[in-house]
Chains A and B, each alone.
Chain A
């Protein structure tokens, strides 16, 4: 099989020592097995995420994303941009759509980019890693590399918001997307029934309005236990962090006894592909996943 090449947009949280650095570790291992070559967009910048609206306005936000498009096309021409972070993907894709839709926005974007010595000639495609797996590979191909099936392990596939709405993965349903459950099952695990799979974790409000966000996170975790899950799996760095790191606060507030690991799909895939716990970034869990560690080669 030919090597697949993509322009990689890792995003701020995936950098070394940042909150989703274990996500990147596992993505790199997973891509090795699948013969995917990710080349980082040189000098990429933050997408602005969806929370920066107060000061970002419209054009400044789109221009930040446009800078990445221009850098990607100049250095990695013809390659699709692939983001692993849900917010990076959403922010970039949204800016691309808006700029393409309006000739004035395109002209203004180009004028601003000129200040940084850049311009957009061809608009690259913006894709999420989950899209790449589902569309460019497909479940059958993904399953072919499984050497260490996750037999007997039960996962709640927590899709969350931003890989699912407003764009989502083609062909999926906003209310009940199936791709994550299918990835879990392709890796030999069991995807339990999970009625909070697209509930919002509170996003950035976990910082500013912790009580409101934690009320939502409580429901998300409770439903995973109700479905019989031993672990939660997600494609989004903010979902991962919010659902994992506040379990202590929630236990204190609600008298619950939550202690459930929250993993990335790429960590499951790395283990199922025969990788070690370290290659899957399992040492990066705040709540360790002993059952998955025990299975790892």
Chain B
């Protein structure tokens, strides 16, 4: 059974309960009073980014629309500006709920297949935890040379590289981009400790949430 089927069976028709137990800050969802201030405050909602703005997502969760919510590209539009959090009259930590929904959808394999911010998020964490610090050069190259599905795409990388040529040259000239980072660059000394610590953290989190350890 896949992780998704396992969870669907465990929570049967109670998607709200599933969100409360599995999604970061999910226990807040039922506090939403549908005023829509979050949607009106979201910078990317204007561009038209959101298939379902946050307050709609909250109502859909209560209505049990599991597939529609978890496969939606909406949560991946969050820029982490925290405008919704500070304006919400019920003090819902909306930014964190959006990140949490995205994480859970990704964990279950329900997140949209083609989603650039999903790839960015994954790449950032992989890059940061590999050596303990972000390597801006390999991170940027990773972003440009991977397609929307996260596969290596040389043609796209070269095209994107040409598009970014002036930006990169400007940064190089200003000494804010270092091509030698390709050989490793800045890193933590105790990488072994960091990896062991993270492995433990993943194991504990899976255990607490009753998630499949794969």
Name B25's closest neighbour in chain A (CB-CB): A58
> Within 8 Å of chain B (Cβ to Cβ): is A54?
yes
Query: Quick check: B121 and A60 within 8 Å, CB to CB?
Result: no
Contacts of B11 in A (CB 8 A): none
Contacts of A122 in B (CB 8 A): none
Query: Quick check: B43 and A116 within 8 Å, CB to CB?
Result: no
Contacts of B202 in A (CB 8 A): 57, 59-60
Binds A, one of B1-9, B58-66, B187-195: B187-195
Query: Quick check: B205 and A57 within 8 Å, CB to CB?
Result: yes
Contacts of A223 in B (CB 8 A): none
- Taking chain B's interface residues, is the majority helix, strand, or loop, or is none over half, making it mixed? helix
Binds B, one of A15-23, A27-35, A72-80, A144-152: A15-23
> Within 8 Å of chain A (Cβ to Cβ): is B133?
yes
Query: Quick check: A284 and B175 within 8 Å, CB to CB?
Result: yes
Query: Quick check: B174 and A286 within 8 Å, CB to CB?
Result: yes
> Within 8 Å of chain A (Cβ to Cβ): is B119?
yes
B201 to chain A minimum Cβ distance, whole angstroms, is: 4
> Within 8 Å of chain A (Cβ to Cβ): is B204?
yes
> Within 8 Å of chain B (Cβ to Cβ): is A136?
no
A236 to chain B minimum Cβ distance, whole angstroms, is: 11
> Within 8 Å of chain B (Cβ to Cβ): is A191?
no
Q: Which of B132-187 contact A (CB under 8 A)?
A: 132-134, 136, 140, 143, 163, 166-167, 170-171, 173-178, 180-181, 185-186
- Bound-complex Cα distance A15 to B184 (A): 14
Query: Quick check: B119 and A208 within 8 Å, CB to CB?
Result: yes
Query: Quick check: A53 and B103 within 8 Å, CB to CB?
Result: yes
Query: Quick check: B121 and A58 within 8 Å, CB to CB?
Result: no
Binds B, one of A126-134, A179-187, A198-206: A198-206
Binds B, one of A161-169, A226-234, A268-276: A161-169
> Within 8 Å of chain A (Cβ to Cβ): is B30?
no
- Bound-complex Cα distance A105 to B143 (A): 33
Residue in contact with A204 in the complex, picked from B43, B79, B180, CB distance below 8 Å = B79
B54 to chain A minimum Cβ distance, whole angstroms, is: 15
B181 to chain A minimum Cβ distance, whole angstroms, is: 7
Contacts of B186 in A (CB 8 A): 12, 15-16, 18
Contacts of B125 in A (CB 8 A): 48, 52, 54-56
User: If the complex has contacts A12-B186, A58-B24, A58-B205, are A50 and B47 also in contact, measured as CB distance less than 8 A?
Assistant: no
Q: Using a Cβ–Cβ cut-off of 8 Å, how many residues does chain A contribute to the interface with B?
A: 67
Query: Quick check: B193 and A17 within 8 Å, CB to CB?
Result: no
Query: Quick check: B174 and A216 within 8 Å, CB to CB?
Result: no
Contacts of A108 in B (CB 8 A): 201, 204-205, 208
Residue in contact with A54 in the complex, picked from B102, B133, B181, B204, CB distance below 8 Å = B102
Query: Quick check: B85 and A53 within 8 Å, CB to CB?
Result: no
Query: Quick check: B47 and A59 within 8 Å, CB to CB?
Result: no
> Within 8 Å of chain A (Cβ to Cβ): is B198?
yes
- Bound-complex Cα distance A113 to B199 (A): 11
Query: Quick check: A209 and B171 within 8 Å, CB to CB?
Result: no
Query: Quick check: A203 and B197 within 8 Å, CB to CB?
Result: no
Query: Quick check: B197 and A205 within 8 Å, CB to CB?
Result: no
Query: Quick check: B124 and A60 within 8 Å, CB to CB?
Result: no
A85 to chain B minimum Cβ distance, whole angstroms, is: 11
> Within 8 Å of chain B (Cβ to Cβ): is A212?
yes
Contacts of A215 in B (CB 8 A): 47
Contacts of A138 in B (CB 8 A): none
- Bound-complex Cα distance A49 to B124 (A): 9
The contact string, 1 if C-beta is below 8 Å from chain A, for chain B 79-117, is: 111110111000001010001101100100001000011
> Within 8 Å of chain A (Cβ to Cβ): is B53?
no
> Within 8 Å of chain A (Cβ to Cβ): is B21?
no
Query: Quick check: A161 and B201 within 8 Å, CB to CB?
Result: no
- Bound-complex Cα distance A116 to B121 (A): 25
Query: Quick check: B122 and A12 within 8 Å, CB to CB?
Result: no
* A–B complex contacts, Cβ < 8 Å, 29 sampled: A12-B134, A19-B177, A21-B175, A22-B174, A43-B189, A45-B133, A45-B188, A46-B128, A50-B80, A54-B125, A57-B24, A59-B204, A59-B205, A67-B194, A108-B201, A161-B81, A161-B82, A165-B83, A165-B86, A166-B86, A174-B87, A209-B49, A209-B116, A245-B167, A283-B174, A283-B175, A284-B176, A286-B167, A286-B176
Listed in ascending order, the chain B residues whose CB lies under 8 Å from chain A are 24, 43-44, 47, 49, 77, 79-83, 85-87, 93, 95, 99-100, 102-103, 106, 111, 116-122, 124-126, 128-129, 132-134, 136, 140, 143, 163, 166-167, 170-171, 173-178, 180-181, 185-186, 188-190, 193-194, 196-202, 204-205, 208
Beyond the given pairs A60-B202, A112-B201, A207-B140, 7 more chain A to chain B contacts, judged by CB atoms under 8 angstroms and listed by A's residue number, are A17-B180, A53-B121, A63-B198, A108-B201, A162-B81, A212-B44, A286-B176
